[in-house]
Amino acid sequence: MGITEKMWDGVSRVIRMDVKVEGLAGTVKEQQAKIEDLTARVIRLETALEIALAGGGGTSGQKQIRDDKG
């Protein structure tokens, strides 16, 4: 294998590697978007849980008054 062939092989490998890196970058962006979406969903769930717990388990923070008259 001559020097020119070795150089061409090296350049070809770099080009193929660049294509793979670009594909990986796209995948990373997609995964980051999914992670951000899941984070937002967890925050909403935590908020709902805190509201439910602060409200006394579904009474919306108000005491229930029973009418024993009848």
* pLDDT, tens digit, 9 for 90 and up, residues 11-39: 999 999 999 999 999 999 999 999 999 99
- Measuring CA to CA, how many Å separate 47 from each of 9, 39, 57? 57, 12, 14
pLDDT, residue 46, reads 97
Q: What residue type is assigned to position 29 of the chain? A: K
What's this model's pTM, rounded to 2 decimal places?
0.57
**Rounded CA separation 66/4 (Å):** 93
- Extents of the domains making up the chain: 1-55
**Rounded CA separation 39/32 (Å):** 10
Instruction: Report CA torsion sign: 59, 62, 63, 65.
Output: negative
